[in-house]
Amino acid sequence: MKQENRLIQRYSASERINHWIVAFCFILLALSGLALFYPSFSWFGQVFGTLQIARIIHPFVGIIMFVGFMVQFFRYAAHNIPNKEDVKWALSVKEVIMGHEVGDVGKYNAGQKVMFWAMTACLFVMLVTGIMMWQSPYFFADYFSIEARRIAILLHAWAALILIACIIVHVYAAIWIRGTIRAMTNGVVTENWAKSHHPAWYREIMKNEKTVKSSKKDV
């Protein structure tokens, strides 16, 4: 393999496993949630057998997803802090859509950062409102007034719809940008991909690699 197109690790095995656990939980939650909230989608509940089983399982899967996402949050939050390069990226979003990379992007670009914080906000809203709505088997809902639960149901539904929209965009972007899916399946990207899409992150990786090599020589 040519040096300029060698493979670079972007995600470790543990990161990828965590990602797919969260993704699987999301699919289960989306199907069961739509089945419970909207009568037209009640047949989605058959994934769990019956709507009654879906109602019981839904909150438990939600807790697993939230915990899994929190692992991702603490891993990636530092890489998702907005900076001046994000402004340049956002102002040139039309060029980005046309396939032209803009700005000195780090591990994540402005669009990915928006998705990250939007998903985080939605999951926190859904956790709090979900607990307020939880009627079985621990009956947390009994600690809240009917008015509070109605507001919780509304907020939970809106947060869920926003999260579903975010995930759809997330999946579309992963398919649209060639080489992205491999990063989360095999954990690697090509050097050319890194240079093109995330140049600042690429330089950081190369700098760390040189530091490690230098340390080995000193030993």
Q: To the nearest 5 percent, what fractions of the chain are helix, strand and coil? A: 80, 5, 20
Q: Which two tokens stand for residue 184?
A: 């989360």
The span from the CA of 7 to the CA of 9, in Å, is 7
Burial class (CB in 10 A: 0-12, 13-18, 19+), 142: exposed
- Give the active site residue among 58, 79, 100, 170: 170
Q: Which two tokens stand for residue 211?
A: 């530091």
The span from the CA of 172 to the CA of 122, in Å, is 19
What DSSP character marks residue 6?
-
Query: Catalytic site residue 170?
Result: yes
Degrees (nearest 5) of the Cα angle 8, 119, 73?
A: 55
Residues with catalytic function: 170
